[in-house]
Structure 1
């Protein structure tokens, strides 16, 4: 794998780190399996691309994309809480509806963003640093810009989850009955958590559209799997669970996941092609799930003896 491929893998990994953080909130913090992610990712890309192509400031377009993702998440939570629809089915319903919404927003299946202003341009002050390092200009600038954005988002999320409201949200996911007994409004915290989760995913979609130079209605396929894979890989590498380290592990897991895929697809002797992405993903996620028990084979033996 050459340098350009490595930088590209890190770039996609940083974008999907935001997806991993969103998936972490829904799956780990709230214990709410949410499949809306596959629809909110292209929703963020569609809203941002449509507004930028229409001459709107890219920062404002990205903000509106985040709001759109939050509304999509709240729709799923509303279906689950208000009507008692199973969370998985509620997510599928919202995701299915978002396919048509995305087409309506874009007006066509895809929107090119070549030569359009993006949020990456706000970080042009980093160009002298990139030139001094001697790395490829535009790709390296995108990686540095995304690293700053992901770091800022991760810090804000860590601060939020360790606040009083965030602790109540974590209690809602850990034990809803006990949380209700303590006076916590679990429904409200679920609404906020799922909205925040999909807002982060929509942000990732908006950044993907601006870095890749296009938005397409199909870019969300497999997003939830990629996010879950990043979370699982991160948890496999970092076994302790403080919030700050958990957020850091999601970011590292996302980057590791994309680099592993790039290595697998660029290794000639394996004979893999781009069409083999799904099987590579399945193998990586399977290995991540198996590794903890393989790393400590005595754990199951000790459980048997104590029982």
Structure 2
């Protein structure tokens, strides 16, 4: 069983079905609403745990009923939670989802910004024995930077999903084993608008020059482009009817971490992660139950 340590966010998702994404100054009736569990870190952890990885989580939830609910949800999904603290108010995501499955999200960080350096010090032994440290950017950047330093010192592989998009230092990037941006994040990190094969290669080469070992660019319905010093190419997306794209990228990252931890090649791991993400967009919410036939061997 692969061991994955996730440092990241935990949110309560307030999900509103709308006919289209609202525009500035407009009032729009929602056709339905419900509460779900989310946060990029929690979504990725739940995916990995459902795919038979041993998953530990470093994060924070609020001292409120949402926090209790979020913790119980992670435990019910077999995510190990001894390194999650409760302080303040639980983070929230206010999500619009259209009938076509597109979404727009407003984040309220809450307790996610209360993760401390002391929490990371407490998981040093866990970092040393983990196959992959899985990170995103919905928690303070200083925490991400410290986590990467600890993992680098321990010789643990680092997978960073640079979302939401923000500038990252060369010192951080040079420690990353696998970077998984989308096109927007890739453009922000490199200054290159990768609109074609040439642009994608140019942007990825810039990241490898900074020390990143491999780049996996998610392109939505166009699939995935990957680039390493040895190989590059495309892996096609699976065509499925889309119900809700919320959490699809997180499912991809969680599944990719599991497959790589089990020794799959990068191409095979991407194909597997694509299949998981394709299944997720046919379901509602960011953390759907995954069918057993999707388990990674």
Higher RCO (CA < 8 A, seq sep 6+): 1
Q: Which has the higher strand share?
A: 2
TM-score (normalizing by structure 2): 0.25
Higher Cα Rg, which structure: 1
TM-score (normalizing by structure 1): 0.25
